[in-house]
Structures are given as structure tokens and as C-alpha cells.
Amino acid sequence: MLHLIVLLFTVSTRAQESACRAQANSIEPILSKPGDIMLGGIFSLHGIENARYTFKIVRAMLFAIEEINNSSSLLPDVSLGYKIFDVCTSIHLSIKAALILMNGNEGDESHPGKPCNTPSTVHAVIGMSGSSHTIVIARALQSFHIPVISYVATCACLSNKQEFPTFFRTIPSDSYQSRALAQLVKHFGWTWVGTIRSDNDYGNLGMATFIQTVQKEGICIEYSESIYYSYPSEKIAATVRVIKASSSKVIVAFLTKQDMEILLKELQNQNVTGRQWIGSEGWISARIFATEESYKILGGSIGFAISEAEIPGLKDYILNIHPSEAPGNAFLNEFWETVFHCSMSSKENASTLTPCTGSENLRDISNEYTDVSEFRIPGNVYKAVYAVAYSLQDLLRCKNGEGPFVNKTLHTKFVLQVLYYLKKVNFTTNYGEKIYFDESGDPTAKYDLINWQRNSHGNIEFLKIGAYDASLSEGKEFIMNNISIVPRSVCSESCFPGTRKAVKKGKPVCCFDCIPCAEGEFSNTTSNCPLEYRSNEQRNECFLKEIEFLSFGELMGTLLVILSLLGSSITFLVVLVFFYYKDTPIVRANNRELSFLLLLSLALCFLCALTFIGEPSTWSCKLRHTAFGITFVLCISCVLGKTTVVLMAFRATLPGSNTMKWFGPTQQRLSVFACTFIQILICSFWLIISPPFPNKNVISHKDKIIFECDVGSTAAFYAALGYIGFLSSICFILAFLARKLPDNFNEAKFITFSMLLFCAVWITFIPAYISSPGKFTVAVEIFAILASSFGLLFCIFAPKCYIILLKPEENTKRHLMGKNIQSVNSERKKMLFCG
């Protein structure tokens, strides 16, 4: 299997190895030191322009190893050795280096006869610099249980313990960084951004998580481009043209340092400025970009960087390096020659450069290696070495046969046991940082939020303006100092008050036109005002609609109250007149009992109109309709009884007829009770099944709320009204039939006229009720009640009161009987004057 892996990657990556062809067939450690326990290191030093920075990372690993070897408390009786390989960014060479570290030979290609199942020469590997390379190394070594600890591989895919059971890292997973970047974009209110990523596992997976997160927050992506440092220049230029032509002012760049360097050159060529860059940890803190030319493009950039480590002694260790530490080491000599532009060779024609004197001092040089202002990535390497050391200490304290593996000694399964204890490691560095790995082999995600700014001296510095700590409770992970970032980045500006968003066809939701709000809508949202609210004329705010009902305080309500009280007062006066003159012929001739009951029902009709005025309530709604229905039926029943008595008295023409005995006082009371009782039943069922209730009608009118009494059951409502109409029609017909009876005595003509007026009022009421708006509907209903009540009162009782009060000479039995009634037999006369 390893033969096949090596062959495949040898074919696919030859183009990347031009800078390391000398190592293509044979690879050896660039730095090594024997020890009781060996650590491997795989780094990319050749073939990239930031090799000096990578060598600083290597030096951090060596510093940690030497510090541990000099410690009296950590592994006091054990020395750590190392083998460090330079793989020149080549996946092919990375696999070869991993194979050598695994079994001590140069891989299958050089020694095809040597087995690969010999004990590993190293017990843990530190590396690589990129996620894609690290994935290959982790897969190659996991079958042999050799831990791989990366200091900068951030791909979230590496957290999958099913696929990478031996992988650990001291840098957080990109899944945290992507979410942190999304929170950053949201914090500044940017809704229209462009994205660019490295076309590898680091960029593709990290950007996928970012886009998925921001889209849930309503943030739109204008474009999403990918680049890779090995892409043709034409493709890089095309990507920059997309950036240049875009309307978004914010660019989220999930790039490696190499890819950012290639992109930056093309951005300078096309003079792309005026953008706000949001950077991932891959490049945001790279000092290599902190130049005047780069600042024209990247000035003001913000992004998340690995938390800075304060490692005592590391600064001096890095700057005090000298080739004399390892005489004859080719890599150190090459490094020294590159930094000081001199030749370490003693041969005369070895180089045209000036020979190195040995007195050169790195403190006099300013480059990526000598920049010791911060130790972010070097600090990760330092923590990785110490994690291995602490796991070894826990392992070596365990006696043979007492460890996690029953009946296994430390010698036969040493590498497997290192892996076991590495999972459980938990320690605090000498600068106070707590280190441990979770179930996925990841550390606690912590980032510094940095901002590119100029200091008072005009120098470019990376100012810490916030932080992200995933160990904090949800919603409190992101901490932002008070800082305002000037650029705005939206596809469409917020709509002015009184307008709303209308999404453009074929565009993201962040791109919209602003159109005037319709009635009932407000501001720049597409939501309507609540039903009980209306929008103002400017359409920028919702106001509570005016609640309308017929109140006692308004003019119309006051007038109706006066009319109602006036009608009941007049009715009361008529009652007093009739009571005072109860024994006079005209009162007796008109059936005193039915007359008093009719007057009582009319008084109630006038008073029930008051229940229609004022703010509707549960009880007032129930009372107004049922009281109106019952009192009017009582009133009509009395009129019907009086009409029937008159009609029967004058229509019974046969001599000796006893028809009138069926219409005596008892029968009259029963008829009134029976008619009224039917209406009481109707109203009772109405109240039980679906009673009237107060209702705020927000539909009928757009600009106001009609506070009204809903009738509840419309069937019961129409049944009550229909029953009143039925009795009124019967009464009108009977009174019409009796209209030509003897003039002096006959009140049928007045009843006919009163019922005609009654029916006319209620027939006219129906269309007026339906067409009247708001509170005028109630006013029409009250007017119909009062008009019909006044009609009955005046038509039936006004003529009688006139005779009683103004024409007492006519209030005699002789006058009432007159000549036309002389023919009426004594039985009928007795019936007419009863009561």
C-alpha cells in the first residue's frame, strides 16, 4: 500500500519540486540530534519565499526540546532527540519523510527489500504547515499509531477521529474561526460581502462553514473566488478583476500566506484599493505583508490571529543562532549565506560572494526570522513539543504491566502508549496557558482579533481590538473593543421611512428596490401594521387606530339620550293621566289593563335605547338586543290584543252569539303572555347558544376600529326580528279590517296608522342599517326604536289625552256610543267598556 501511495504522489507533485530536485530521490534530515526518545519534524523550508519564518518555527521546536532536556522536573532521566526534514512544500517528499521517520530507512523506493514493520525510530511527529500535507502524513502514519501533532493545520476535517485517530493539533479548528469571522461581519452590519479562499482543504472547508453561517444571518455573498499559488497568472488576474468590478466593499479572505502573497502582487498591479479586508489566521498577522506598498491595499484589515504566546528565553534563542552550533551543517550554512549574503565555503571559486567572517550578528538584520515581536505560530510548536513531553512523563511513571494495556510492556507497545497518554495530557505552560486536547484532538479555540493600524511613529502595527474564546458560554465567545470601522458594505441602502423593500428578480435578498409603503404598511419592512394599527401619512410609523363607538359624551349620543328620556317621561305622564282618569268612559272604553301594560312596554322600549349607547361590554351587548326584542314584542302583543277585542266586539253580528266570552280579560292576558313568551324563548336560546359579544371590528374601515356588539348567532338575531315583524303584520291587518267601525268609539284607525308608521320605520331601517358606517349603524338602530315607540305612543294615546285634558265634555258614555253604536247589543257594549 505504501508503495502505491508513494508512486501516486510522485507522479502528481513533480511540478512542485523544482526547488528541491536534489532531494527528489534521496531525502535526509536537515537537523538531527540523538536522544533516548526521538521526535520527528516535517517542515517546508525550501521552495517558498517565507522560509526564514518557517526556520524560526523550527528553532521554537529545538528550543522546547532543549528546555525539556535541561529541566530537572520534566523527564529528568530521559533525553529527547529529533530528526527534522525539509520537504519543500512537496506532498511526495512529505510521505518519504514520514516513511523514514517511521522505520528508519529512506522509504520503499531506495530500499525495496527492507520491511516497513520494524519499530518506529520516532515516537511522535511535529508537522506539517498545511492541512493538505498534514492529511497525507496523518493517513500514512495512523496505521502505525504514531501521533502527528500539527501547529498550523486548521482544516475542520482533521477533527474526525474516525479518519484521523492519531492526529492532534495546537491550533484551533477552522470551524471555530469561520463562525468567529461570521460574527465579526454581523457585528459591523455588513450584509454584502465578497469572499476569496485558498483552493485547498484549508480554504474550501473553512469558507464553506463561513458562508453557511452568514447566510443564516441574512448576509449575502456577491462572489466567491478561489486561488492557489501555483495557478497560472491569467487565472489570478481574472480573480482580481472580479474583485475590482464588484460593488461589495468588504472582502473575507480565507487564504494561506503563500496564496495571499500571490494575490497581493496582482492587486497591486491592478491598483485595487478602497476595500475592507477581513483575514483568516493564515495571513492576517504575517509581518511579511506589513510594508508601505501592501498597506495601501490592506490597511485597516481586521481578522483573527492565533493567540500570542509569551515564551521566556525564546527571543534570545532565536537571535543567538550561529553556524558554529553545528559545524558543517549544510542547512545552517545555507541559511547564514542567505541572510548575510556571504559565502561559508572555504573553496576559492565556490562563490562570488564575500566570505563570511563569523562575526555577523542576526540582531543587526531585519527580516521574517529576526522579527521576534510575537510568537503565535512558534508558540504552537512549543506547546506541541511540551504536550509530547508531558505524555511521555505520564507514560514513564507507569510500571510494566500496570499501564492501560494489560500484559503489555512499555517496550513492545511504546508508541501506542504514547498515543494513549497524549489524549489525556493536561498541563500549564511556564507562561500560564492551560493545554489539553478534547475528544477530537483539538485545543480550546482562542483567537486574538487584530487590526492593521499605524502607530504614532507611522509604523504599521497589528493592534489587538478583541478576542474570541470558544470556552466561554454561548453568545459571549466574541469580545469586541469599542472601535468603529468606516466602510459600509450593503447591496442596497436601507429604505427611507415610508418605503419598503422589494426584492430584485434574480438577485439575493440583500439587493432590493425601495417602493412606497401601501396603506397599512410602514417603514422599510414588508410587514403590515398590526390590524389594530394604521400607518401615518409618511408611512414610517404605525399608530393605534381610533376606536369608534357611540358614546354618551358626543353630540349625537347626547341627543339620542335626551330623546330616549323624553319618550319615557312622556309615557310616564300618560300613565299618570290615565291613572288619574281611570274611571272615565274613554279610559275604560280602551281597556284599561292593556293600556297600562302597553304604556309600561313603551316606557321600556324608550329606556332600552340607552343600552345601545356607550362602550360595548359583555353585559350591555347581551342586554341591548334581548331587551329590545322582548319589550317590543310585549308592546305589539298589547296592541294586537286591543285590536282583536275591538274587531271581535263589532264583527260578532249574530243575535245571542257568545263569541265575546272567548275574548274576555283573562283571554287577553293569556294572549299577551303567550306572544311574549315565544320571544323570551327565542332570546333565551340565543343567549345560551351564541350570545352577542363586544367586538373590535378592524376590517370594515382601514383608518379606525369599530367597537361594536356582534350579534353572535345571526339566525337567532333574525328570528327575534322576524317574530316582531310577524306580530306587527298581523296587528296591522286586523287594525285595517276594523278601520270603518263607529267613529266616536273606534281606535282601530289610530292603531292602523301607528302600525303603518311602525312598519314603515323598520322597513326603512334595514337598508339604512346596512349602509351606515361605524357608530352611525347603532344610531340608526336607536332612531328606529325611538321613532316606532313615539309613533305608537302618539298615535294611540295622544287623541285620548287630548279628549281627557282638553275636551272633558266629550269624555262621556253617551258621546262615545253615539248614534252609530246604538245598535250594538248590551253584551258587546259591556265587553267594550270592560276594565
- Total domain count for the chain? 4
* Average pLDDT along the chain: 81
Rounded Cα–Cα distance for residues 802 and 573 (Å):
13
Q: Which residue has the higher pLDDT, 584 or 817?
A: 584
354 within a domain of the structure (yes/no): no
Distance of CA 692 to the CA centre of its chain: 40
Give the DSSP H or E segment for 513: strand 512-516
Q: Are 197 and 177 in contact (CB under 8 A)?
A: no
Rounded Cα–Cα distance for residues 156 and 213 (Å):
15
Length of the chain: 835
586 within a domain of the structure (yes/no): yes
The verdict on 577 and 593 lying in the same domain is yes
The verdict on 705 and 803 lying in the same domain is yes
- Beta pairing class for 250-254 and 276-279: parallel
Q: Which residues contact 462 (CB under 8 A, 6 or more apart)?
A: 284, 285, 290, 305, 374, 450, 451, 452
703 within a domain of the structure (yes/no): yes
Provide the percentage of residues in the chain whose pLDDT is more than 90: 30
Q: Are 790 and 560 in contact (CB under 8 A)?
A: no
Banded pLDDT at 9 (limits 50, 70, 90): very low
Question: In the prediction, which pLDDT does 709 show?
Answer: 87
pTM summary value: 0.59
Q: Are 626 and 687 in contact (CB under 8 A)?
A: yes
Question: Could you please report the per-residue DSSP string of 317-333?
Answer: HHHT--GGGSTT-HHHH
Other Cβ atoms within 10 Å of 111 Cβ, number: 14
Least confident of 141-155, 309-323, 734-748: 734-748
Tell me which residue of 351, 370, 373, 352 sits closest to 361, measured CA to CA: 370
Question: In the prediction, which pLDDT does 823 show?
Answer: 44
Tell me which residue of 736, 742, 813, 789 sits closest to 574, measured CA to CA: 789
Q: What is the CATH number of the domain that holds 613?
A: 1.20.1070.10
Tell me which residue of 630, 626, 629 sits closest to 618, measured CA to CA: 626
Tell me which residue of 703, 407, 714 sits closest to 544, measured CA to CA: 703
pLDDT of 723 > 60? The answer is yes
356 within a domain of the structure (yes/no): no
pLDDT of 12 > 70? The answer is no
pLDDT digits (tens, 9 = 90+) for 372-419: 888 889 999 999 999 999 999 988 887 665 555 545 444 445 677 888
pLDDT digits (tens, 9 = 90+) for 563-596: 999 999 999 999 998 888 888 887 776 667 888 8
Banded pLDDT at 48 (limits 50, 70, 90): low
The verdict on 519 and 580 lying in the same domain is no
Question: In the prediction, which pLDDT does 382 show?
Answer: 95
Domain around 572: 555-653+662-832
The verdict on 267 and 137 lying in the same domain is no
pLDDT of 189 > 70? The answer is yes
348 within a domain of the structure (yes/no): no
Question: In the prediction, which pLDDT does 493 show?
Answer: 73
- Beta pairing class for 499-503 and 512-516: antiparallel
The verdict on 746 and 688 lying in the same domain is yes
pLDDT digits (tens, 9 = 90+) for 476-495: 888 888 776 667 777 777 77
Q: Which residues contact 154 (CB under 8 A, 6 or more apart)?
A: 131, 169, 171, 172, 173, 174, 177, 202, 206, 281, 282
Which one of 491, 515, 544 terminates a domain? 544
pLDDT digits (tens, 9 = 90+) for 228-252: 988 999 999 999 999 999 989 999 9
Q: Which residue has the higher pLDDT, 407 or 330?
A: 330
Banded pLDDT at 672 (limits 50, 70, 90): confident
pLDDT of 226 > 90? The answer is yes
pLDDT of 632 > 80? The answer is yes
The verdict on 161 and 283 lying in the same domain is no
Count the alpha carbons within 13 Å of 653 in the hemisphere toward its beta carbon. Answer: 2
DSSP classification of residue 110: T
**3-state class of 533 per DSSP?**
strand
Question: In the prediction, which pLDDT does 538 show?
Answer: 62
Count the alpha carbons within 13 Å of 309 in the hemisphere toward its beta carbon. Answer: 26
Banded pLDDT at 65 (limits 50, 70, 90): very high
Q: Which residue has the higher pLDDT, 467 or 89?
A: 467
Rounded Cα–Cα distance for residues 725 and 266 (Å):
93
Question: In the prediction, which pLDDT does 697 show?
Answer: 81
The verdict on 632 and 696 lying in the same domain is yes
Q: What is the CATH number of the domain that holds 189?
A: 3.40.50.2300
Q: Which residue has the higher pLDDT, 482 or 819?
A: 482
Which one of 453, 480, 507 terminates a domain? 480
327 within a domain of the structure (yes/no): no
The verdict on 168 and 181 lying in the same domain is no
The verdict on 398 and 464 lying in the same domain is no
Question: In the prediction, which pLDDT does 105 show?
Answer: 54
332 within a domain of the structure (yes/no): no
The verdict on 476 and 509 lying in the same domain is no
Q: Which residue has the higher pLDDT, 749 or 640?
A: 640
Question: In the prediction, which pLDDT does 178 show?
Answer: 93
Provide the percentage of residues in the chain whose pLDDT is more than 70: 81
The verdict on 75 and 164 lying in the same domain is yes
The verdict on 259 and 165 lying in the same domain is no
Average pLDDT for 327-353: 78
Question: In the prediction, which pLDDT does 108 show?
Answer: 44
State in Å, rounded, how far the first CA of the chain is from the last one. Answer: 126
Least confident of 159-163, 176-180, 300-304, 394-398: 394-398
Of 36-50, 760-774, 780-794, where does the model show the most confidence?
780-794
Rounded Cα–Cα distance for residues 416 and 392 (Å):
11
Least confident of 7-21, 197-211, 589-603, 701-715: 7-21
326 within a domain of the structure (yes/no): no
